[in-house]
């Protein structure tokens, strides 16, 4: 589809208008950007920069080779060194950020006591060097978590200082090192005099000291520290923190790693200590049983006077050596199983189970290890929660089920071993029948020796396990291996200068844009000629009258070179081109009606100045007050009375002539004025009289131009009734006053034929929207305005 040239031109004008409605307010954008950049500069100048501190650690996992090399020799035994193999990295991240660990860090570093230097505009933290240290010795009611008012210190000398608070409730001078009793408790202040130069630099400055409860500070740091597993499927943990004081953040992160390792070592030692205690108790029992067996052996030999019974049955015993070995192993396993069952029956649910004490069942060893891990996890959670915590309840259920499973498995193993031992005893009776010739004492002696051997093996095994437990307690290898200690970047991460300035630039442009956009969006008034052309495109616009400033003359003066005078001269010229000919006959005079949609749009102002402009050409002009309902011409004629005879009297009194009513004007000798006269009770009917036509015909014969100030067209019907007497109808639209929706009325009236020969005059046009002289720099006046008015004129 090919667009018509007119359509393309309209689109071009619409786009130009869209751009001009913003570019004409360029000074608002410049001002907005300037204010925003200055505000950003002030913000950056006095804001506290934040630096990023970072540390990297590896959470050790023995399964992946992260365990200590010195413990590799004990890996075959499992036991104490296998319980950490299933470490969950997510759980470890939670431990790093736990309030319990963070609170210990705050307590160790005394971060709940803050020292700040009070400046003129902003306050800065003192950390690297403090001229003194405040020690809070005691609190009233022994409550360390109570709120303490901020204290302000001022150094007087190396021996004295002054204390105040915000409301001066605390004020006094004290000596360093002496206890000071304050309303909340007792403090002492210790000076740092190792560097006198730095100490003296704080003289005359105010230093504030704040004491906050540990819990509140811990929660604050807990929210600020970030612990993450950045490398997927690895045990690498990164700890980051933003802080205005780099050294303070580094110390916090390093201490957090230390406290985490300390907590992990304590957890590991709990299991080792429980196992060690269990082994010691079993050693006492086995020692007593071994002594009893050895005494029985000694008494048996003495009583039966035996020396070397084994030699007599050497041949048979050689054949039964394998049987004895099996019987010995089963007896050992049965004893271990029964011992473990007795321990579980006497131990509470909070106790850890001894891990890998020698029972050959791998399933039981793995189950016991998992059980201990769950108990440790539950005990760790209970430090920060209660038994009603859903996670704790879930862990208790798992622990109970696993404990029941371990007990059931041990019982099954014990029953199985008893059956095996019963079978072996039966086989032993068969073997004994084969050695019936061996003395009865040999049978008893063999039983005693078998018990002695079992007890000896169990005793040696427990000694070995106790040694392993002692080594585990002695080894304090940290769980978190430090890859990089805490370090800080030299460049602050916040505030981001480039981002702040970019945001300020965007805001400086966006705010004026939004204000202008909203002003146009909410403005329903006519602003410029394009608003009129959109609705009344086929109706010509003869001229644009500029908006007057306060104090400007409303009427054109003699030899006037103002922009108002030039605007009416342009209107006069355009009007003359339209009113020279009308139809086929040449008119001697031109009758020009001036009307508007509603009152207040400046039709009287336009009519009067148009009449003056035409009179300046030497033509005889008469200005008629055609609005007989609400006459306004008298506003410009202070010397003439509103009751002076005029149009109304002419229509009523047939003896009057139109020329007799014309009064010469004081403004110009070529201008005469006829007022509207008294206000009649029936103005519409009065204007329908034949005398109205006679009035205009008589004026046509005697004047070159007849300018008629008529009534508003939409409010009353008067103008429409007499419109037929006009050669041209000037329809006044006032910018900034006339609602754009009201333009539909003249459009409909023109299309319906109620108004004819209509031309638009746009009144009260802002200088930004006015004409072409202002845009292209043509000077209407010799007056030179100040530079700021030329830049910001509106």
* Nearest-angstrom CA–CA distance, 279 and 473: 14
Q: Is the pLDDT of residue 616 over 80?
A: yes
Helix axes 26-46, 497-522, angle to 10 degrees: 150
C-alpha distances in Å from residue 249, one per residue of 54, 130, 407: 9, 17, 50
| DSSP per-residue string spanning 220-266 | HHHHH-EEE--STTS-EEEEEEEES-HHHHHHHHHHHHHHHHHHHHH
Distances from the Cα of 700 to the Cα of 254, 509, 727, 768, angstroms: 104, 59, 11, 40
User: 588 pLDDT band (50/70/90 cuts)?
Assistant: low
Instruction: Write down the pLDDT at residue 279.
Output: 80
pLDDT digit string (tens) for 87-113? 478 888 888 999 999 999 999 999 989
Same domain, 553 and 682: yes
Residue that is last in its domain, among 239, 262, 285? 262
Give the tens place of pLDDT for each residue, 658-705: 888 988 888 889 999 999 888 888 888 988 998 999 999 999 899 999
340 contact partners, CB below 8 Å, separation of at least 6 = 353, 354, 357, 359, 410
**What is the rounded CA–CA span in Å between residue 596 and residue 712?**
5
Mean pLDDT of the chain: 81
Average pLDDT over residues 267-277: 75
Return the pLDDT at 624. 93
Residue 353 DSSP label: P
pLDDT at 761 over 90: yes
Q: Based on the domain organization, do 116 and 233 belong to the same domain?
A: yes
Residue 584 resides in a domain = yes
Residue 115: helix, strand or coil by DSSP? strand
Q: What is the pLDDT of residues 700-737, one digit of tens each?
A: 899 999 999 999 999 888 889 999 999 899 999 999 89
- C-alpha distances out from residue 596 to 255, 599, 603, Å: 84, 7, 6
Which residue, among 382, 128, 92, has the nearest Cα to 238 in the 3D structure? 92
By DSSP bridging, strand 590-596 and strand 705-709 are parallel
Task: Report the pLDDT value the prediction gives residue 271, as an integer from 0 to 100.
Answer: 72
pLDDT at residue 163 tops 70: yes
pLDDT at 71: 40
Lowest mean per-residue pLDDT among 184-188, 277-281, 488-492 = 277-281
User: Is residue 620 located within the same domain as residue 511?
Assistant: no
Domain endpoint, select from 231, 262, 293: 262
pLDDT 10s digits, 360-398: 777 777 888 888 888 888 888 777 777 778 877 887 888
Specify if 607 maps to a domain.
Answer: yes
Over residues 155-184, the mean pLDDT reads: 87
Separation of first and last alpha carbons in the chain: 42
Domain span at 242:
51-262
Contacts of 653 (CB under 8 A, 6+ apart): none
**What pLDDT digit, counting tens, does each position of 538-577 carry?**
889 999 999 888 878 888 888 888 888 899 999 999 888 7
**Average pLDDT rounded to a whole number, residues 131-135:** 91
Q: Is the dihedral of CA 639, 642, 648, 649 positive or negative?
A: negative
780 is a domain residue: no
CB-count exposure of residue 197 (10 Å: 0-12, 13-18, 19+): exposed
Q: How many domains does the chain have?
A: 4
Strands (E), 648-768: 663-664, 671-674, 705-709, 728-734, 758-765
Which of 429-443, 495-509, 737-751 has the lowest average pLDDT?
429-443
Q: Find, among 631, 629, 642, 588, the residue nearest to 608 by Cα.
A: 631
CB 271 within 8 A of CB 92: no
Q: Which of 109-113, 304-308, 409-413 has the lowest average pLDDT?
A: 304-308
Nearest alpha carbon to residue 344 among 397, 398, 400: 400
CB atoms within 10 A of CB 622: 27
Contact 731, 542 (CB under 8 A): no
If we measure between CA atoms, which residue out of 774, 783, 785, 787 comes closest to residue 547? 774
In this prediction, residue 305 carries a pLDDT of 59
Which residues, in sequence order, are bridge partners of residue 117?
Answer: 124, 207
Phi and psi torsions of 700, nearest 5°: -60, -35
Q: Determine the pLDDT at residue 770.
A: 59
Residue ending a domain, among 262, 287, 315, is: 262
Rounded Cα gap, residues 607 and 602, in angstroms: 9
Same domain, residue pair 428 and 345: yes
Residue 774 lies in a domain: no
Cβ atoms < 10 Å from Cβ of 354: 26
pLDDT score of 439 more than 80: no
At residue 584, the pLDDT reads 41
Tell me the three-class secondary structure of 614-676, residue by residue.
HHCCCCCEEEEECCCCCCCHHHHCCCCCCCCCCHHHHHHCCCCCHHHHCEECCCCCCEEEECC
Phi and psi of 68, rounded to 5°? -65, 140
What's the sign of the alpha-carbon dihedral 398, 400, 403, 409? Answer: negative
305 domain-assigned: yes
Does position 300 have pLDDT exceeding 80, yes or no?
no
pLDDT, average across residues 755-776: 75
Residues for the chain: how many in total? 794
Give which of 535, 592, 543, 539 is closest to 727, Cα–Cα.
592
Query: Whole-prediction pTM value?
Result: 0.57
Q: Is the pLDDT of residue 308 over 80?
A: no
Q: Which whole-number Å values give the CA distances from 538 to 69, 581, 724, 772, in the listed order?
A: 97, 20, 20, 22
- State whether 219 and 119 are in the same domain: yes
In a domain, 790, yes or no: no
pLDDT category at 65 given cuts 50, 70, 90 is very low
Contact in structure between 123 and 205 (CB atoms under 8 Å): no
Same domain, yes or no: 129 and 225 = yes
pLDDT tens digits, 480-525: 888 889 998 888 888 888 999 999 999 999 999 999 888 888 888 8
- pLDDT score, position 254: 94
The predicted pLDDT at position 331 comes to: 81
If pLDDT is split at 50, 70 and 90, which confidence band does 641 have? low
pLDDT of res. 496: 87
Residue 146 has pLDDT above 70, yes or no: yes
pLDDT tens for 451-461 read 778 878 887 88
Planar angle of CA 453, 455, 460, nearest 5 degrees = 95
On whether both 67 and 181 belong to a single domain, the answer is yes
Residue 69 and residue 217 in one domain: yes
Mark whether 191 and 335 lie in a shared domain: no
- Digit-coded pLDDT (tens) for 14-59: 677 678 778 888 999 999 999 999 999 998 888 888 999 999 999 8
402 is a domain residue: yes
530: which residues sit within 8 A by CB, 6+ positions away? 13, 14, 17
Are 15 and 86 in the same domain? no
Q: pLDDT band for position 70 (50/70/90)?
A: very low
Taking the C-alpha atoms of residue 493 and residue 497, their distance in angstroms, rounded to an integer, is: 9
Determine, yes or no, domain membership for 109: yes
What's the whole-number mean pLDDT along residues 576-587?
A: 56
**Ranges 4-18, 25-39, 77-91, 522-536, most confident:** 25-39
Distance separating alpha carbons of residues 156 and 138, to the nearest angstrom: 25
Q: Do 406 and 369 have their domain in common? A: yes
Lowest-pLDDT choice from 24-28, 272-276, 354-358, 788-792: 788-792
Distance of alpha carbon 284 from alpha carbon 785, whole angstroms: 112
- Quote the pLDDT of residue 442: 66
Alpha helices in 528-618 (DSSP H): 529-535, 563-579, 603-615
Query: Quick one: 677 and 550 in the same domain?
Result: yes
User: CB–CB of 63/539 below 8 Å?
Assistant: no
């Amino acid at each position: 589809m090919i667009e018509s040239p007119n359509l393309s031109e309209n689109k071009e004008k619409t786009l130009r208008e869209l751009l001009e409605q913003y570019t004409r307010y360029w000074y608002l954008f410049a001002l907005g950007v300037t204010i925003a950049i200055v505000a950003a500069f002030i913000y950056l100048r006095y804001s506290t920069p934040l630096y990023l501190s970072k540390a990297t650690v590896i959470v050790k996992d023995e399964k992946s080779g992260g365990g200590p090399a010195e413990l590799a020799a004990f890996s075959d035994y499992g036991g104490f060194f296998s319980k950490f193999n299933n470490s969950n990295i997510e759980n470890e991240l939670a431990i790093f950020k736990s309030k319990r660990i963070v609170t210990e860090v705050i307590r160790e570093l005394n971060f709940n006591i803050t020292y700040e230097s009070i400046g003129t505009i902003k306050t800065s933290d003192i950390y690297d060097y403090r001229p003194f240290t405040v020690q809070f010795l005691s609190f009233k009611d022994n409550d360390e978590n109570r709120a303490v008012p901020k204290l302000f210190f001022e150094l007087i000398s190396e021996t004295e200082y002054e204390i105040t608070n915000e409301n001066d409730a605390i004020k006094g001078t004290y000596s360093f090192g002496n206890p000071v009793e304050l309303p909340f408790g007792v403090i002492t202040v210790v000076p740092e005099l190792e560097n006198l130069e730095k100490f003296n630099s704080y003289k005359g400055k105010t230093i504030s000291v704040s004491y906050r409860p540990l819990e509140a500070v811990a929660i604050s740091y807990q929210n600020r520290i970030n612990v993450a597993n950045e490398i997927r499927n690895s045990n690498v943990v990164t700890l980051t923190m933003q802080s205005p004081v780099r050294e303070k953040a580094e110390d916090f992160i390093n201490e957090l790693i230390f406290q985490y390792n300390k907590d992990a070592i304590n957890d590991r030692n709990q299991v080792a200590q429980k196992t060690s205690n269990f082994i010691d108790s079993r050693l006492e029992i086995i020692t007593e049983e071994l002594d009893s067996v050895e005494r029985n052996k000694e008494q048996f030999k003495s009583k039966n006077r035996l020396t070397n019974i084994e030699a007599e049955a050497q041949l048979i015993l050689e054949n039964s050596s394998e049987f004895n070995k099996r019987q010995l192993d089963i007896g050992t396993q049965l004893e271990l199983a029964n011992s473990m069952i007795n321990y579980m029956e006497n131990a509470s649910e909070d106790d850890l189970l001894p891990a890998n004490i020698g029972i050959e069942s791998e399933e039981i060893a793995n189950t016991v290890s998992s059980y201990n891990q769950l108990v440790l996890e539950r005990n760790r959670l209970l430090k920060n929660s209660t038994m009603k915590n859903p996670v704790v309840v879930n862990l208790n259920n798992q622990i109970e089920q696993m404990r029941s499973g371990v007990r059931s498995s041990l019982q099954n193993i014990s029953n199985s071993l008893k059956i095996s031992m019963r079978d072996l005893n039966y086989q032993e009776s068969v073997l004994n029948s084969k050695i019936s010739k061996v003395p009865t004492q040999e049978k008893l002696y063999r039983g005693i020796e078998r018990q002695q051997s079992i007890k000896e093996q169990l005793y040696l095994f427990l000694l070995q396990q106790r040694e392993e437990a002692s080594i585990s307690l002695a080894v304090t290898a940290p769980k978190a291996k430090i890859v990089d200690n805490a370090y800080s970047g030299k460049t602050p991460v916040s505030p981001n200068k480039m981002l702040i300035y970019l945001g300020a630039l965007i805001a400086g442009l966006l705010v004026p844009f939004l204000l202008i956009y909203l002003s146009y969006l909410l403005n329903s008034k006519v602003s410029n000629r394009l608003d009129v052309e959109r609705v009344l495109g086929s109706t010509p616009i003869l001229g644009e009258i500029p908006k007057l400033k306060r104090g400007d003359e409303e009427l054109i003066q003699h030899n006037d070179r103002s922009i108002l005078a030039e605007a009416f001269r342009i209107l006069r010229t355009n009007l003359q081109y339209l009113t020279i000919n009308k139809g086929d006959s040449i008119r001697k005079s031109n009758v020009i009606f001036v009307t508007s949609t509603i009152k207040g749009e400046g039709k009287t102002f336009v009519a009067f100045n148009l009449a003056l402009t035409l009179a300046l050409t030497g033509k005889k002009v008469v200005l008629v007050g055609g609005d007989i309902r609400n006459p306004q011409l008298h506003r410009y004629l202070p010397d003439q009375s509103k009751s002076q005879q005029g149009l109304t009297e002419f229509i009523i009194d047939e003896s009057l002539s139109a020329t007799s009513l014309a009064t010469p004007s004081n403004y110009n000798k070529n201008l005469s004025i006829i007022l509207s006269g008294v206000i009649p009770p029936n103005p519409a009917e009065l204007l329908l009289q034949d005398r109205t036509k006679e009035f205009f015909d008589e004026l046509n014969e005697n004047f070159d131009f007849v300018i008629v100030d008529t009534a508003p067209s939409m409010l009353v019907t008067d103008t429409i009734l007499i419109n037929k007497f006009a050669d041209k109808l000037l329809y006044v639209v006032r910018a900034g006053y006339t609602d754009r929706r009201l333009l539909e009325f003249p459009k409909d009236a023109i299309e319906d034929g109620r108004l004819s020969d209509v031309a638009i005059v746009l009144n009260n046009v802002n200088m930004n929207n006015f004409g072409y002289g202002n845009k292209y720099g043509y000077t209407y006046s010799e007056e030179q305005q100040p530079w700021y008015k030329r830049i910001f004129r509106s």
